[in-house]
């Protein structure tokens, strides 16, 4: 990867779903060997999957200048409200090979997550946006998120997703706190081994 960057074939390189320990090691190794280190990580991140981005990587943002390009900001459609009343015919969770996702929403924890998602409806209504736009805007409001990868099956979904940029500008501290109260899943800061 260092060779590709040095030859102008790539601007930078990054990792995907690596632990903070592996990223730190790769960065230190590259610096020690006079190579180009990774500067980006591509983790899953959304309102229901927060620990790695908000907790595990916390010291890497300032420490090595880590950026993130997050995937699954809509939690496979769960944050859109699509699954509020079960799994619709023809949806991703109804397709063969996606049983693991379906099991995730039909479990006790999955049902609890769906209830949290339903309770976000008034917040989205107050911001005059869809729950999908709210979920995307929430990700964009995190200063540790450099880029959000969105997925869409239909062109109109792309249009709707892009409107989240305007919603992100309205994500005040009060709105974020309201969402935080509904989600109730903010990761605890990691214990610093030097102070314990």
pLDDT tens for residues 92-147? 777 788 777 777 788 888 889 999 999 999 999 999 999 999 999 999 999 999 99
195 has a pLDDT exceeding 80 = no
The answer to whether residue 165 sits within a structural domain is yes
The answer to whether residue 26 sits within a structural domain is no
- The CATH number assigned to the domain holding 93 equals 3.20.20.100
pLDDT class of 90 with cuts at 50, 70, 90: confident
25 has a pLDDT exceeding 90 = yes
**More confident position, 88 or 158:** 158
**More confident position, 96 or 49:** 49
Nearest to 47 by CA among 166, 145, 153, 170: 145
pLDDT exceeding 90 applies to what percent of the chain?
76
The answer to whether residue 77 sits within a structural domain is yes
The answer to whether residue 192 sits within a structural domain is no
The answer to whether residue 196 sits within a structural domain is no
Instruction: Give the pair of three-digit tokens for residue 148.
Output: 């959000």
Please report the pLDDT score of residue 193 as a whole number.
47
Number of domains composing the chain:
1
The answer to whether residue 50 sits within a structural domain is yes
**Average pLDDT over the chain, rounded to an integer:** 92
* Alpha-helix residue ranges (DSSP H) falling in 10-163: 20-32, 51, 58-63, 99-106, 108-119, 121-126, 131-140, 155-162
The answer to whether residue 127 sits within a structural domain is yes
b/e map 107-144, b = 16+ CB within 10 Å: eeebeebbebbeebeebbeebebbbbbbbbbbbbbbee
The answer to whether residue 25 sits within a structural domain is no
Domain that holds residue 164: 39-183
Please report the pLDDT score of residue 161 as a whole number.
94
């Amino acid at each position: 990867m260092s060779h590709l960057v040095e030859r102008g074939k790539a601007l930078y390189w990054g990792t995907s779903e690596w632990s903070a320990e592996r990223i730190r090691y790769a960065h230190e190794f590259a610096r020690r060997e006079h190579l180009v280190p990774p500067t980006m990580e591509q983790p899953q991140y959304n309102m229901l999957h927060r620990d790695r981005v908000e907790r595990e990587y916390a010291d890497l943002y300032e420490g090595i200048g880590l950026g993130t390009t997050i995937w699954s900001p809509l939690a496979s459609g769960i944050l859109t409200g699509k699954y509020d009343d079960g799994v619709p015919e023809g949806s991703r969770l109804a397709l063969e090979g996606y049983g693991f996702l379906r099991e995730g929403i039909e479990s006790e924890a999955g049902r609890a997550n769906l209830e949290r998602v339903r309770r976000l409806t008034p917040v989205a209504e107050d911001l005059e946006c869809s729950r999908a736009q709210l979920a995307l805007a929430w990700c964009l409001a995190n200063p540790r998120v450099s880029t959000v990868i969105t997925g869409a099956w239909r062109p109109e979904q792309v249009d709707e997703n892009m409107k989240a940029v305007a919603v992100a500008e309205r994500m005040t501290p009060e709105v974020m706190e309201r969402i935080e109260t509904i989600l109730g899943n903010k990761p605890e800061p990691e214990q610093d081994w030097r102070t314990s």
